[in-house]
Amino acid sequence: MSGHEFTLAGATLTALPSGALFWAQEACLTVSDLHLGRSGRYARRGGALLPPYEVEETLARLDADIAACAPRTVICLGDSFDDLAAAELGERFALWLARLMAGRRWIWIEGNHDPGPVALGGEHRGEVALGPLRFHHIADPGATGEVSGHYHPKARLAGQARRCFLVDQARAILPAYGTYTGGLHCDDGVLRDLMAPGAVAILTGRTLRAVPMPRRKENP
């Protein structure tokens, strides 16, 4: 399995090209910000009309990661659905998701877009601790051993913006996993303040690349 390994709070984790995070010792796969049903939410609210394919593309990517990693536990770090109405996937996608959930522990973490898809199976939690790591949606500046999402970090390389993991000694922030998601460039002040000097950005895509986290210089 290709990926970029790093250590957080003594746990050896692997950033995957898809944007998922795998913890082999615990057979735990973590994804963040699937935002399933975004095109439907935009249409309901009179916004931009997006091709309604993001649920299929996102679930196909998740299906492939589960097949490759064979996790015993899957953690979805919040904003799994774009809103509560989006959790009504329709029969085909609901059955697909049920198949992925079958036979493993599945944890839905509450996000700011969704209070958890409560009609679906699995555990519904505000956060969860597993070994030395704490999983929740939005980073806590004082935390250690923290895995979170929410910010959809991106970094620019050779003029192209790519989704990325942000990692330092205290935390890892995951990129958005969903197909239709924007992002916050990691030189933004919010992320710059969260991440310690020496933080690394792991850019996703066909070939993962780890670079020093870009930091926009302060104005004099």
CATH at 88: 3.60.21
Q: What is the pLDDT of residue 196?
A: 95
Name the residue range of residue 206's domain. 4-212
Q: What is the pLDDT of residue 55?
A: 83
Helical segments of 107-200, H only: 189-194
- Total domains, the chain: 1
What is the pTM (predicted TM-score) of this model?
A: 0.89
Q: Does 220 reside within a domain? A: no
Q: Does 95 reside within a domain? A: yes
> What is the distance between the alpha carbons of residues 106 and 185, in angstroms, rounded to a whole number?
30
**Local confidence band at 50 (pLDDT 50, 70, 90 cut-offs):** very low
* H helix count then E strand count, the chain: 4, 16
> Could you report the per-residue pLDDT of 63-94, keeping only the tens digit for each?
999 999 999 999 999 888 865 554 456 778 88
Burial 28-54 (b: 16+ CB within 10 A, else e): bbbbbbbbbbbbbbbeeeeeeeeeeeb
> Could you report the per-residue pLDDT of 83-142, keeping only the tens digit for each?
555 445 677 888 899 999 999 999 999 988 665 556 778 999 999 999 999 999 999 999
Q: Does 29 reside within a domain? A: yes
Q: Are 173 and 153 a contacting pair, CB within 8 Å?
A: yes
CA distances to 38, 40, 43, 84, 85 from 47, rounded to whole Å, are 11, 10, 6, 17, 16
Q: Does 219 reside within a domain? A: no
Q: Does 218 reside within a domain? A: no
Q: What is the pLDDT of residue 54?
A: 76
Q: Are 146 and 133 a contacting pair, CB within 8 Å?
A: yes
For the chain, what is the mean pLDDT? 86
Q: Does 124 reside within a domain? A: yes
Return the minimum-mean-pLDDT range out of 15-19, 58-62, 78-82: 78-82
Q: Does 217 reside within a domain? A: no
Q: Does 132 reside within a domain? A: yes
Share of the chain above pLDDT 70, in %: 82
